[in-house]
Amino acid sequence: MAILPIIVAPDPQLKTISTPVAEITDEIRELVADMFETMYEAPGIGLAAIQVGVQKRLLVLDVVGKGQEGEDPEPIAIINPDITWVSDDDSMYEEGCLSVPSHYADVVRPTEIKLSYLDLDGEKQELHADGLLSTCIQHEIDHLDGILFVDHISALKRNMILRKLLKQKKMAS
């Protein structure tokens, strides 16, 4: 297993639309294992493949363990997700992102969702999610469509955050 470098915004790769996984191979299983290790080490509660430079519709999450000691991990790997239903009511959550480090903002999303996806055995699964799980899944699926949580906030706040990140990148290079 390996800890993979996480791409930080602004970066054109984070704006790309990822393509469906055609076949669940050993290479995909190895990528998933590396993504879990990267997510827990960060620490984070989710990670999309594009954040580690792989343009595939694949994400991992664990909102139970939250990367903290004393909590039993509940890792979920989600391949080719398809949101089939969203609730009429919305919820607000202060989101963060490993690709937008040290910045947080309130984002409004549907409270509950239903989705179908493939698990690592290629079996179709259905999931009804609410609370943080629902928020995190929607955030990660946004990544697969080239959308960051800052795209849900005002242009003024977004540009301020992205400008700061760009300045940090320039200073580090």
C-alpha dist (Å) from residue 3 to 22, 35, 40, 161, 168? 24, 7, 10, 26, 22
Give DSSP secondary structure letters for 113-139. EEEEEE-TTS-EEEEEE-HHHHHHHHH
Whether cis (ω within 30° of 0) applies to the bond prior to 12 is no
Residue 124 in contact with residue 118, Cβ under 8 Å? yes
Q: What's the min distance (Å) between Cβ of 166 and ligand K1U? A: 18
Pick the catalytic residue from 37, 41, 126, 140.
140
**CB nearer ligand K1U, residue 28 or residue 143:** 143
Q: What's the min distance (Å) between Cβ of 149 and Zn ion? A: 6
* Residue nearest ligand K1U, Cβ-based: 44
**CB nearer ligand K1U, residue 115 or residue 136:** 136
Residue 51 in contact with residue 60, Cβ under 8 Å? no
| Number of Cα atoms under 13 Å in the Cβ half of residue 51 | 30
Residue 100 DSSP SS3: coil
- Which of Zn ion, ligand K1U, none does residue 36 bind to, with CB < 5 to 8 Å depending on kind? none
140 catalytic residue (yes or no): yes
- Provide the binding-site residues for Zn ion, judged by CB under 5 A: 97
- Which of Zn ion, ligand K1U, none does residue 43 bind to, with CB < 5 to 8 Å depending on kind? ligand K1U
Q: What's the min distance (Å) between Cβ of 95 and Zn ion? A: 8
**CB nearer Zn ion, residue 24 or residue 113:** 113
> Which pair of structure tokens corresponds to residue 173?
């290079």
**CB nearer ligand K1U, residue 101 or residue 122:** 101
CB-based contacts of 138: which residues, under 8 Å, 6+ apart? 83, 109, 110, 113
- Provide the binding-site residues for ligand K1U, judged by CB under 6 A: 43-47, 51, 66-67, 93, 95-99, 135-136, 139-140
Q: What's the min distance (Å) between Cβ of 84 and ligand K1U? A: 20
Q: Which residues are catalytic, by number?
A: 140
